[in-house]
Chain A
Amino acid sequence: MAIEGVDEAYLLPCGQDAAILWEHVTVGQLDEHELDCPHCQAASAGFVALREATGELAEAELAPPRDLTERIMRAVRTERRRDAFIPIADNDLGPIRVAAQAAAVVVRFAADQTDGVTARSCTVQQLPGEPDGWCAVRLEVALRYGVDGMAAVDRIRELVGAAARELAGFEPAWIDVTVVDIWPGGRGA
C-alpha cells in the first residue's frame, strides 16, 4: 500500500522513505533502488527480523492473573448505583417492592425469547398517579435482519406482559419498544 500524506516521513541516508521500504518489505517486492542500495538492504534486513519478532510477540500468551476478573467485579459492585424500587402491593406485614433492575432483567429475558430479538436497554418505572405496580416499560431491542418487525414487537409485548405479571408481580400498563439496531444473521446481536 502506498503511503501518502506522511507528514513526519523518516528518511534513510539514501533519501528513501522508511515507511515505503517497510511496505515493500511487507509485500516482498523491493524496487530497483532498494535492491541495489546498501542502506535499503541493511534496513530491509532489520525490517525482516522485526517482522518475525513482532509476530512472535503478538502470538505470545500474556494472560492476567485468574482472579483479576473477580477483583474488578468486586470493585464494580461496591460502586453499584442505588437501586430504585417499584411498589407492588401492601399486606398486613408491610409493603412489597421489587427492584427496578430486577424487573428489567425479567423484561429483557422475556424479550430475548422472541426469535431474532435481543434486548438491549430496559427501564421499568412506576407510573405516577396509577395504582401500585402499574408500570411503564421502555425497552430497546436489536432485530436479526429479515425478521418481521411488527410481528416481533407484538410477540415481545405478549411475552413481556406475561412475564411481568407472573414472574415479577407488576402490571406493564405501557410497553414502549424501540428497535435500535438490525444485525445480520449468523452472529450474535
Chain B
Amino acid sequence: MSLGASGTDAADAADATDPAGPLSDATMVARARDGDTRAFETLVRRYQRPIYRLAVRLLGDTGEAEDVTQEVFVTAWRRLPEIHEDKAIRSWLYRIATNRCLNILRSRKPVAPLFDEAIPMASPAASPEARAEAHERLLALRVALDRLTAEQRACWLLREVEELSYAEIASILRTTPQAVRGRLARARADLGEAMISWQ
C-alpha cells in the first residue's frame, strides 16, 4: 500500500493493483470511521457504480440517481459509527439507496414512465438483425419493469441484476426471505408474461 498515492487515478490504481490485493471493506470501514477520507474514497469508488445503476433503474432518471448516489454516501459517512459489522457495508449502502429511491417514488405524482437510461445496443460483432432484436427485447423489459410496483422492481433488480442473496434483500426491504421469494416469483411471472406479448 502506498500512502503517497494521490489524485483519483492513483487512488483507483492503488485499489486495483496492491500486491496484497485490494484492501477489504472491513479495513476501509474501520479506517474511514476514524476519519480517514482516503479510505472512504476507496469505498465510494468501489460502490458508486452499483448504487448509481440501481438508482437509475428504480427511478428512471439519471439526474435523480446522481443525487441519490451522493446522498447515500454522505449519509454513510455521517453514520459510519453506527456500523457494527464492518464487512456488511455493501448491504448497508444498498439499504440506504433502496429506501431513498422508494421514498422518492412514493412521493412522486403519477407520471408517464421515464426512460432516461439509454438502451444499449448488442455487441457490434452481432448481425444487425440480432442487435435490433436484442435492443427491442431490452426495451420491452424496461417497459415491463415500469409496470411493476416499486417494491417488486426493487426486489427484482436487487436479485437479478445486483445478485444479492434472499437474506440480504430481506434485510434491505425489512421483510422475510420467504416474502422476497414470493415477491420475486410474482415479478418474474409478470415480466415473463410481458415478454410473451413482446415475442
Contacts and interface: CB of A to CB of B under 8 A. Distances in A.
Nearest to B137: A53
A188 B34 contact: no
B34 A121 contact: yes
Contacts of B161: 54, 57-58
Given A10-B186, A43-B192, A189 B8 contact: no
Nearest to B162: A58
B1 interface: yes
A60 B175 CA distance: 29
Contacts of A72: 44, 48, 69-70, 73-74
A75 B193 contact: no
A28 interface: no
Contact of A76 (B40, B117, B183, B195): B40
B138 to A, nearest CB: 5
A56 interface: yes
Interface in A43-78: 43, 45-47, 49-50, 52-54, 56-58, 60-65, 68-73, 75-77
B53 interface: yes
Interface string B7-27: 010000000001011111011
Contact of B195 (A17, A46, A57, A64): A46
Given A60-B120, A69-B8, A70-B8, A186 B138 contact: no
Contact of A81 (B35, B44, B181): B35
B134 A56 contact: yes
A157 interface: no
Contacts of A6: 178, 181-182, 185
B113 to A, nearest CB: 16
Nearest to B54: A62
Contacts of B35: 80-81, 83, 101
Contacts of B78: 79
Choose among A43, A45, A53 the residue with the greatest number of B CB atoms under 10 Å from its CB.
A53
A57 B22 CA distance: 27
B56 interface: yes
Given A6-B178, A188-B18, A122 B66 contact: no
Interface in B62-108: 65-66, 69-70, 73-74, 77-78
A46 B23 contact: no
B26 A120 contact: yes
A104 B34 contact: yes
A6 B45 CA distance: 37
Interface of A: 3, 5-10, 12, 17-19, 22, 42-43, 45-47, 49-50, 52-54, 56-58, 60-65, 68-73, 75-77, 79-81, 83, 101, 104-105, 108-109, 112, 118-123, 140, 142, 180-181, 183, 186-189
Query: What 10 A-B pairs come out closest when comparing CB atoms?
Result: A8-B182, A46-B192, A188-B21, A120-B30, A19-B185, A46-B196, A49-B195, A64-B52, A53-B141, A18-B189
6 contacts: A6-B181, A17-B185, A57-B138, A109-B3, A118-B20, A119-B27
